[in-house]
Structure 1
Amino acid sequence: MSINGNRKEKHMTEKTDKLQSILQEKGRLAVAYSGGIDSHFLLAAALRALGKEQVLAVLCRGLMMPEAEVCEAERLLKDMGADYRILEVDVLAIPEFAENDKRRCYFCKKHLMSRIKECAAENGFTAVADGKNADDAGVYRPGAQAAEEIGIISPLFESGFTKQDIRTCAREWGISIWNKPSQACLASRFSYHTHLTAEKLQRVGEAEKILHDAGFAACRVRVHDMIARIEVPREDMGRLVTLTGQIQKIRELGFSFVTLDLEGIRSGVFD
């Protein structure tokens, strides 16, 4: 191994050791779980450091998350043998969420994390952790502010784990979803101040499921009134435009036009 390779390996070991130390200091920990790679890796690390009896995963089910993702998250929890709870949440009852306010994530995260903290406390857990990582500090994340305000800890962030660090370590640990594309709240598919309804969120979730079922692991369907603007990685664009059947299915959900975004998939386009 090269000198640079040795340095990288040593640096990763230092981060992993620091993460384990932070987790062990807590003794017992509840993890706000979403089924994404960040919270999944954090849960795996907590189970390693503390043991199954000292760890609780809490998953929120609501319109902000496709039902298929909830089912997949629960399957992952069962496969890990983790103790978990699923909370039903009505995000449309949060005014700022329903109106898709620019600080939607702040108010939504405050509500969800408060519910998770209550659930954790009812089960004897005082410390609650989320999957925030070092890369999140450089992007617009009002939800992270809300989590911090109510006392949610972020062990991955404290340990200096970047998204790539998480994926690298998860792969080494044999975690099956190490390369799972990042998912985001379905509200992010709409421009700010677009009034959100259950029908709108479910429709965009169904549109993306059509693409997922066709083999597009990374995709977004952004909504502009009656236009569905599809984002996929540039290397997948050629295949997408040949799938007339899937495009027609998306139109049949109630869209007048289905378009392809030539810039490709990217996070936070409405920010």
Structure 2
Amino acid sequence: MYEKYSRLIGILKGLKSVAVAYSGGVDSSFLLYAVKDSSINSIAITALSPTMPKEDVEAALAFVSELGIPSRFIKTNELERREFCVNNEMRCFYCKDTLFRSIKDMIKDTDIKWIIEGSNADDAEDYRPGLKARERYNVRSPLMEAGLTKEEIRELSRRFGLKSWDRPSSPCLSSRFPYGVEITAEGLRMVASAEDFLRSLGFKDLRVRHHGYLARIEVTEEDINRFMDNELRRRVVDELLRIGYKFVSLDLEGFKSGKLNRLLRNE
């Protein structure tokens, strides 16, 4: 692992100056830490978007302040792009395209030469259309280039004392919408409110999948049994109905990241 980390530092030093597309998650936080460690010229840029969970924004604010790295926030609104809202299998491409274009515009009159982002070696094995947007804007993925996996990034983050090491994965809220279900501001609000409520009850790894008027709750297998408590189950149902859902269901398989991609693989 440390050999890979040394490789990462070498890659960063070779870039000399970077704008980090910083989301506040485990991977981009580790990347930002490495950027700081490399002592190269850098700036962290975080998108403020209706699709970004508010806890990620709060985590990003806290971490850039802790590291003392210059930072900027930019407003992106993917909902203005019809091709994003229709939510086909290229949704992530349009999201990343909007982000990288906005960052490119922000740094065009600066001495920053590269945009980097936090994809890791595991991401090359999954369906990630957002990675295709990198080519359009010459974006680099140093963690992937160094061969660092998610597990290694978490372990190194723990050893380096980063608070983000055990944060649950937190992709953008649009990932809660099955392909073909239109992404709307109201739908994003409903998902965010439902997930915030479940976290307030102590659930950690979770997703609320948005099937229009139906909410499909995914929690870990260990947490599924909590819904056998009639009082808790009633509280969840009542709150999600108040948020705007008409039907509330529990996924008996439990939480699995990327589950909606089964629709593309015909599983």
Q: TM-score, normalised by structure 2?
A: 0.92
Report if aligned partners of 1:28, 1:50 keep a CA contact under 8 Å in 2. Answer: no
Give the aligned residue type for 2:22: Y
* 1:239 Cα deviation after fit: 2.1
For 2:45, which of 58, 67, 71 is the aligned residue? 58
Q: Verify: 1:270 aligned to 2:260, yes or no.
A: yes
* 2: CA distance, partners of 1:135 / 1:148: 19
Report the more deviating stretch, 41-50 or 208-217. Answer: 208-217
For 1:223, which of 199, 203, 210 is the aligned residue? 210
2:196 counterpart residue number? 209
Report the more deviating stretch, 66-75 or 196-205. Answer: 66-75
* 1: CA distance, partners of 2:134 / 2:215: 32
For 1:151, which of 138, 142, 163 is the aligned residue? 138
* 1:144 Cα deviation after fit: 0.6
* 1:149 Cα deviation after fit: 3.0
Report if aligned partners of 1:56, 1:120 keep a CA contact under 8 Å in 2. Answer: no
Distance verdict in 2 for CA 1:229–1:241, change over 3 Å = farther
For 2:15, which of 26, 30, 38 is the aligned residue? 26
Report if aligned partners of 2:181, 2:212 keep a CA contact under 8 Å in 1. Answer: no
* 1:62 Cα deviation after fit: 0.7
Report the more deviating stretch, 94-103 or 56-65. Answer: 94-103
For 1:252, which of 235, 242, 251 is the aligned residue? 242
Give the aligned residue type for 2:235: G
Q: Verify: 1:94 aligned to 2:94, yes or no.
A: no
| Runs of 5+ consecutive residues of structure 1 not aligned to the other structure | 1-11
* 1:188 Cα deviation after fit: 1.4
* 2: CA distance, partners of 1:216 / 1:55: 36
Q: Verify: 1:117 aligned to 2:117, yes or no.
A: no
For 1:199, which of 186, 194, 197 is the aligned residue? 186
Report the more deviating stretch, 233-242 or 12-21. Answer: 233-242
1:106 counterpart residue number? 93
Report if aligned partners of 1:63, 1:198 keep a CA contact under 8 Å in 2. Answer: yes
Q: Verify: 1:49 aligned to 2:49, yes or no.
A: no
| Runs of 5+ consecutive residues of structure 2 not aligned to the other structure | 262-267
Q: Verify: 1:38 aligned to 2:27, yes or no.
A: yes
Name the SS of the counterpart of 2:252 in structure 1.
coil
Distance verdict in 2 for CA 1:246–1:149, change over 3 Å = same
* 2: CA distance, partners of 1:113 / 1:170: 26
* 2: CA distance, partners of 1:24 / 1:174: 23
* 1:77 Cα deviation after fit: 1.7
How large is the Cα RMSD of the aligned pairs? Answer: 1.4
Give the aligned residue type for 1:39: S
1:184 counterpart residue number? 171
Give the aligned residue type for 1:34: S
1:3 counterpart residue number? none
* 2: CA distance, partners of 1:134 / 1:170: 16
Report if aligned partners of 1:94, 1:108 keep a CA contact under 8 Å in 2. Answer: no
Report if aligned partners of 1:66, 1:202 keep a CA contact under 8 Å in 2. Answer: no
* 1:269 Cα deviation after fit: 2.1
Report if aligned partners of 2:76, 2:98 keep a CA contact under 8 Å in 1. Answer: no
Instruction: Say how many residue pairs are matched.
Output: 258
* 1:67 Cα deviation after fit: 2.7
Q: TM-score, normalised by structure 1?
A: 0.91
> Counterparts in 2 of 1:134-149, with a 5 A limit?
134-149=121-136
* 1:164 Cα deviation after fit: 0.4
For 1:78, which of 36, 57, 65 is the aligned residue? 65
Name the SS of the counterpart of 1:31 in structure 2.
strand
Report the more deviating stretch, 65-74 or 157-166. Answer: 65-74
